[in-house]
Structure 1
Amino acid sequence: MTALQAELPLEEGIDAILRDTADRIDELYRAASEPGARPPWIDLFNRIAGQTHMAPFNLMLADLQRPGARYVAFPQKWREIGRTVKPAAIPIVVLWPFCPVRCAYELSDTTGDAYDDALLDRVFGEPVPMRDGLIDRLARRALKEDRIDIRKVSLASGLAGDAWAIDVDQNAKVKPTGPGWVVRVNSNLNESAQFTTLIHELAHVYLGHLGGNGKKWPNRRPDGLDVREFEAEAVTFIVGKRFGLNPNSAEYLNGYLKDETIKHVSHSAIARAAGRIEQHAR
């Protein structure tokens, strides 16, 4: 914590720390790229979307430590296909609930039974099940844990959905208990389209485009619409593919691949937002 952060009120201090941490991770990722080259964002998003056994943020951390690693897993997962970690293998350090870190390994760190890409894709990339009531479950958890009010309503044919922050009294002495954000999804869309739209609109909230939520996500509002849309669509691409959908996000993202856009995109914010949405929807 810097001296400035220590002087801030608690919530503002936490927000500053989260933003500072995200900035440092993004700087590390860019530094790991080839000098003068544009980071291979689409390839990275495909790797994150294609390994559903591990959280998006941990796959981002793995990519930082082993750029381009296609298959990363914990020792138990490798044993499922008859492979074991080599004794001298250098671990990939990732985060783990209730523990500081956990060690993962990439394919080249293992030895054992023969394999092919089809087997690895099937073992590591099995889509997250789209169970009944997925949208309702996501809505309940987003409201309870994050104060996001998700509404399915009939909207005009040209509007799939939208999101906005609810104004609160900044001078109030107690924390607000009601919803802090509203996300609307057009109920006239089919279920898959509703889910894809919901991911995109929730992404704007979790990316901090509509303000922060204390320790959960920082307040970060990129000035450019292209940056905000790139980040939200990247989250849609990752979460959608992990649930077995094929959103049109890749083409959409390519349209925003400009040096000035990429320079302001937050890799860490995208991974964290994707993970939180998926966690609520599982």
Structure 2
Amino acid sequence: MNTAAITTATTVTPFTQNLKQQQQKQQTAKEAIAANVQALIEQLEQGHSEGLTAYLTAMGRFHKYSFGNILEIARQQPDAQKVAGLYAWNQLGRKVKKGERGIRILAPVIGVKRKKDAEAEKDIRTQNQAVLVGFRSAYVFDVSQTEGKELPELSERVTGNVGEYRERLLDFILAQGIQFEFKESIAPALGMSYGGKIAILPGQLPAEEFSTLVHEASHELLHKAERRIATTKTVRETEAEAIAFVVGKTIGLNTGRASADYIHLYAGNAALLTESLEVIQKTSAVILSALETPAAETTTAEAEPELAEAS
């Protein structure tokens, strides 16, 4: 994992060898994503949306994982609920059952880029710089593949009831500088996004209202300025609906509308599907992170880097 110091010599150094290996491994990660997206497209072209539904569901369950690793988990074990490595499961008092096969993901390999002595002496704090060398195969296991001590249920997770998630979502929306109001005149629409303002039709059931809020918040976070120009109305609506699906599914709401609509999004374009899936994953992760902790602690400054990278 360690890298050698950079030299000005024209000969190939250990560092440049590692750099080439890094580029090759990063390309391998990109190829893995491309292969998984292509598999999704082939399934959709054959009229099967199970893989896409599994991926959208996995976005919520594993929103702290990378885009590529969520694809890997959904492809290898579509019904996975909670995944962790051998050591993590052992720490929780559980063992992987004999004969179970791990779910392959890509784990980052971090190396150290050493500065020249003269450069390092100027500031000892930056003597060694951590750099991404590449990726390696790692294996995680779903809870269904383990046995042992019962896991504690997450108190925040609810079924058919949004509970305190509604207030956390509203706090998050307001923290982004987005105004919110109830407005009867938008009927028959359930919600509207005006650019800096969300209007919701009053009288909706709590679960429906929550889903509408996520949908309109997604428009506010994603579909203004450059991305609005670069996408069609169909793409924007299906992205927002897919995010509402991911977030709602994660907190236990019964929602199954996204896959039927989302199938029309990609129109056979692998690049478009890849871009949209990554945007959906990153935006869902930002919203879910706000729901996990009091949303007042989630500021615009924390959310913007993720969204900027996605778009």
Q: Using structure 2 for the length normalisation, give the TM-score.
A: 0.55
Structure 2 Cα separation of the partners of residues 186 and 35 of structure 1: 35
CA contact (8 A) 1:235 1:270 kept: yes
1:276 and 2:271 aligned: no
Which one-letter code corresponds to 1:184 in the other structure? A
How many residue pairs match? The answer is: 223
1:194 paired to 2:202: no
RMSD: 4.5
Q: Give per-residue Cα distances to partners, 1:199-247, cap 9 Å, x unaligned.
A: 11112223x21137xxxxxx46443222122211111111111111122
1:182 and 2:197 aligned: yes
1:29-178 superposed matches below 5 A: 29-32=33-36, 33-34=38-39, 37=42, 42-49=50-57, 54-55=62-63, 58=65, 60-65=67-72, 68-70=75-77, 71=80, 73-75=83-85, 78-79=89-90, 80=92, 82-84=94-96, 92-93=105-106, 105-107=139-141, 113=147, 128-129=157-158, 132-144=163-175, 146-165=176-195
Q: State percent identity of aligned pairs.
A: 19
Do 2:219 and 2:236's aligned partners in 1 also have CA atoms closer than 8 Å? yes
**Corresponding residue of 1:169:** none
Offset of 1:31 from its aligned partner?
Answer: 3.7
How far 1:77 sits from its partner (Å)?
A: 5.5
Is there any run of 5+ residues in structure 1 with no aligned partner, and where?
1-24, 166-180, 213-218
State the distance in 1 between where 2:75 and 2:153 align: 16
Query: What code does the residue aligned with 1:137 have?
Result: R
* Greater share of helix: 2
2:220 aligns with: 205
Runs of 4 or more consecutive aligned structure 1 residues displaced over 4 Å after TM superposition? 25-28, 38-42, 50-53, 64-67, 122-127, 260-263
Alpha-carbon distance in 2 for matches of 1:232, 1:107: 31
TM-score, scaled relative to structure 1: 0.60
Question: For structure 2, which runs of at least 5 residues remain unmatched after alignment?
Answer: 1-28, 109-131, 293-311
Task: Name the CA shift for 1:34/1:47 in 2 (closer, same or farther; >3 Å).
Answer: closer
Q: Report how far residue 251 of structure 1 moved.
A: 5.7
Deviations 1:162-217 (A, max 9, x none): 1122xxxxxxxxxxxxxxx21121122121111011111112223x21137xxxxx
- C-alpha change, 1:192 and 1:68, in structure 2 (3 Å) is same
The structure number with the bigger radius of gyration is 2
Question: In structure 2, do the counterparts of structure 1 residues 111 and 252 end up closer, same or farther at CA, with 3 Å as the change threshold?
Answer: closer
